[in-house]
Amino acid sequence: MGMTMTQKILAAHAGLPEVRAGQLIEADLDLVLGNDITTPVAINEMKKMDNPSVFHKDKIALVMDHFIPNKDIKSAQNCKCCREFAARHGITNYFDVGEMGIEHALLPEKGLTVPGDAIIGADSHTCTYGALGAFSTGVGSTDMAAGMATGKAWFKVPSAIRFVLTGKPHGWVCGKDIILHIIGLIGVDGALYKSMEFCGDGVSYLSMDDRFTICNMAIEAGGKNGIFPVDQTAMRYLEAHATRRFTVYKADEDAEYDAEYTIDLSKLKPTVSFPHLPENTRTIDEVGEIRIDQSVIGSCTNGRIGDMRAAAAVMKGRKVAKGVRCIVIPATQAIYLQAMREGLLETFIEAGAVVSTPTCGPCLGGYMGILAEGERCISTTNRNFVGRMGHVDSEIYLASPAVAAASAVTGKISSPAELGL
């Protein structure tokens, strides 16, 4: 029996000719990632080791993004801890104020994630890098500590689900709508500890931004990772960003999958996830009259330049509805600069939105947009759990940048089509 893409990558990093689902392996790592929340915990764990040191100063990335610029004393202390650790060990890829970005947008942009890599990160959305044909998955801070010290991690080889994407999405349908549709279809545990492998002719119609978004939210279906084949679109991205050689893996023709879903992208509609789980999805024509207090456009899921362009296209020449707060957060400094050069920031500000420095901010209830009791927010982030963005009696609706922008203009959850677009 053949192997899936994920299984091939894991076999190569374990030094084995083949692996099977359920097998326990120890694999070499190409990159270990941490942020300003999870890294201090890992650093404290490393202090318990004998002669603690990092396995490779170039294969660790520490990104200060959750509470940056620091919002309080605790966040400042956490960042100081990371900063001193990076200096002490000569960590090459340390990103702080002025050169940082939201980690899962920043690392591909910097060329630190490439096809065939095995990557762990102490952040659940580390699965984003599967968009480039890498195996990447989130781990706890203790596993991060072990990874930083040894360059290795233990894995149970996941089985897989194959998603065959066909047809071309139309209108304002984008990667966010596709992954919300999938999560609504299989549920938040539908891919529990499985690899979500995407293929089919429909993949060619998806931008890299779409693919990053889809893989980013694989964890919201319980997935161990999400992964796309490396095609011409991915190769063009890599030509512009990759800084080292890489290996492209393809699934065997006789690879075994636990299930297979065929999704016709041409039939999808803009999709919204209602509180309080990502699986609680409805298409835009099923939403009804849902007034909002806030719209957030950004995050590691939808803060890339394509997302900024889509939101600006909707908001151009329009105004944010009275009583609505619209917060736009470009995911990296480079995206912020590009959006500025293209006049997108001007569009947002003229519409009555605010533009923040790159930060995870409100996504995890950090800062830059916390919700009060009874408030509703439409957000391009990835989770809408109870209390995720603030008060436990607030509500979060997940949607694409285009829908979040249209909703900011109308004051209720809306499609760009309602604005004549």
Specify whether the CB–CB gap between 29 and 67 falls below 8 A: no
At 80 the three-state DSSP class reads helix
Determine the structural domain holding residue 241 and report its residue range. Answer: 5-263
H or E, element range at 107: helix 103-109
**In total, how many domains does the chain have?**
2
Write down the mean pLDDT value for the chain. 96
One-character DSSP codes across 262-302: EEEGGG---EEEPTT-TT-EEEGGG----B-SEEEE-HHHH
Do β-strands 24-28 and 152-156 pair in parallel, antiparallel, or remain unpaired? Answer: antiparallel
Summarize pLDDT for 315-333 with one digit per residue, the tens. Answer: 999 999 999 999 999 999 9
Specify whether the CB–CB gap between 358 and 341 falls below 8 A: no
Specify whether the CB–CB gap between 181 and 281 falls below 8 A: yes
DSSP 400: -
H or E, element range at 138: strand 135-138
Specify whether the CB–CB gap between 159 and 194 falls below 8 A: yes
pLDDT the model gives residue 188: 95
Boundary of a domain, candidates 263, 285, 310: 263
Residue 54 has pLDDT above 80, yes or no: yes
Whether residues 250 and 349 share a domain: the answer is no
Q: Report the b/e string of 63-74 with b at 16+ CB within 10 A.
A: bbbbbbebeeee
Whether residues 223 and 95 share a domain: the answer is yes
Kindly compute the dihedral angle of the four CA atoms of residues 219, 225, 229, 234, in this order, to the nearest 10 degrees.
70
Whether residues 211 and 69 share a domain: the answer is yes
pLDDT the model gives residue 386: 92
Q: Which residues contact 10 (CB under 8 A, 6 or more apart)?
A: 19, 25, 27, 118, 135, 155, 157
With pLDDT > 70 as the criterion, what percentage of the chain qualifies? Answer: 100
**Nearest CA-CA partner of 202 in 168, 245, 236:** 168
Count Cβ atoms below 10 Å from residue 337 Cβ, excluding itself.
Answer: 13
Residue 51 has pLDDT above 80, yes or no: no
pLDDT the model gives residue 145: 96
pLDDT the model gives residue 125: 97
Per-residue confidence at 100, pLDDT binned at 50, 70, 90?
confident
pLDDT the model gives residue 50: 81
Whether residues 287 and 204 share a domain: the answer is no
Whether residues 51 and 17 share a domain: the answer is yes
Whether residues 157 and 125 share a domain: the answer is yes
**Nearest CA-CA partner of 219 in 251, 194, 200, 185:** 194
Residue 52 has pLDDT above 90, yes or no: no
Boundary of a domain, candidates 245, 263, 281: 263
Summarize pLDDT for 267-320 with one digit per residue, the tens. Answer: 999 999 999 999 999 999 999 999 999 999 999 999 999 999 999 999 999 999
Whether residues 212 and 302 share a domain: the answer is no
Whether residues 328 and 198 share a domain: the answer is no
> Domain holding 285: CATH number?
3.30.499.10
The pTM for the full model equals: 0.95
Whether residues 147 and 230 share a domain: the answer is yes
Per-residue confidence at 1, pLDDT binned at 50, 70, 90?
confident
Whether residues 175 and 78 share a domain: the answer is yes
Whether residues 215 and 291 share a domain: the answer is no
Whether residues 178 and 252 share a domain: the answer is yes
Boundary of a domain, candidates 213, 233, 263: 263
Per-residue confidence at 362, pLDDT binned at 50, 70, 90?
very high
Summarize pLDDT for 167-207 with one digit per residue, the tens. Answer: 999 989 999 999 999 999 999 999 999 999 999 999 999 99
**Nearest CA-CA partner of 106 in 331, 305, 314, 325:** 331
